[in-house]
């Protein structure tokens, strides 16, 4: 069974808005959108949870309402909170975008001089063989 989002209560298998905690959720959104940090907005709302938990609350689409949960916030408020979160993350350089990997082409052909010496030590022989490489590539 999934965790019940903050702001709701379950009675007889049906989700209802818990007005006290739902008011805290609305206050959280309003405080965050007015420029407060996640921690300050949570403190103003009277919610005690982790920084990441507050961030997840501001992204929780269940607060818009669905087949099971009634709505607590309107779509404009959730959209504005997400846009503000992204704006702040970009400002702080916290947006991770994967870098395009450059294709590395390893040479598979090379030209070398004719081998004229032999060494008993395999490491010396390998060093000598590598020294005979004149050019890499087709």
pLDDT at residue 98 above 70? yes
What are the boundaries of each domain within the chain? 8-91, 106-138
Whole-structure pTM value:
0.68
Going by CATH, does the domain composed of 8-91 fall within 3.90.1750.20?
A: yes
Q: What is the DSSP track for 60-116?
A: -GGGG--SSSPPSS-HHHHHHHHHHHHHHHHHTT----PPPPPPP-----EEEPPP-
- Write out pLDDT tens, residues 57-89: 999 999 999 999 999 999 999 999 999 999 999
d(C-alpha 49, C-alpha 69), whole Å? 22
């Amino acid at each position: 069974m999934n965790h019940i989002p903050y702001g709701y209560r379950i009675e007889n298998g049906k989700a209802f808005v818990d007005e006290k905690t739902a008011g805290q959720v609305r206050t959280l959104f309003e405080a965050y959108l007015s420029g407060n940090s996640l921690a300050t907005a949570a403190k103003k709302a009277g919610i005690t949870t982790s920084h990441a938990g507050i961030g997840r609350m501001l992204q929780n689409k269940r607060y818009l309402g669905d087949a099971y949960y009634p709505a607590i916030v309107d779509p404009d408020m959730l959209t504005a909170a997400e846009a503000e979160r992204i704006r702040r993350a970009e400002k702080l350089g916290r947006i991770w975008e994967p870098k395009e990997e450059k294709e590395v082409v390893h040479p598979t052909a090379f030209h070398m001089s004719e081998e004229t010496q032999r060494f008993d030590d395999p490491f010396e022989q390998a060093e000598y063989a590598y020294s005979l490489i004149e050019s890499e590539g087709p």
